[in-house]
Structures are given as structure tokens and as C-alpha cells.
Structure 1
């Protein structure tokens, strides 16, 4: 079986070597939307419900 490795940088402030994620305000700026829109997204269905209540 082969080995799996990834090149990550381990530092004192990043001991797991993970990429930093954007915070809400950085994401809003990146997308060009208000911060309130970013907060609203998880609370809204991305699609309207299907007829007959099966969605």
C-alpha cells in the first residue's frame, strides 16, 4: 500500500498545518455582499420546495 503525504507548514500559531479560513467579514468583502447576507445564507433554502412536499 502506498503512503499519503501532503506538504504543510507547521508553525507555533498553526500547529496542524491547516490553511487559514476566511472570517465572515473577509468572505463578505471577497464576494462583494453585505455581512448580513453571509449570515442569512444558511437560514434560507437554496431552492424552492418541490410540488407535493417531497423536497
Structure 2
């Protein structure tokens, strides 16, 4: 992503990517494109935004 990026294996087959990035639509779209393979653990504001976005999207299909 950029020079602040670090990638560490935290358990067998599970990795933690940390980086300082701007909070943008492109970031949200990139995270959504990773699907269930990714879990945002922090910051809470991005976790909440993704949760709200996915909930709103799910309303179209229920």
C-alpha cells in the first residue's frame, strides 16, 4: 500500500496487514473487494462504516 505497510503472519495462514492510509471511498471499495477473506480490526470508524454499508446493501435483497 505504502511505506508504512507491515505484513505479519499471526497464525497458520492468517496474516495482519497494518498501514496508515487515507479514509477514502477507494479504501472502502478495496476492503469490500476482499470479501470474507478480510477482517478490519481497527479503527472502529472504518469497521462501523463497512458494517453500515453492508447492512444497507443487504436491505436490497431481503
Higher relative contact order (CA 8 A, sep 6+): 2
TM norm. shorter chain > 0.5: no
**TM-score (normalised: structure 1):** 0.28
Structure with more helix by fraction: 2
Larger radius of gyration: 1
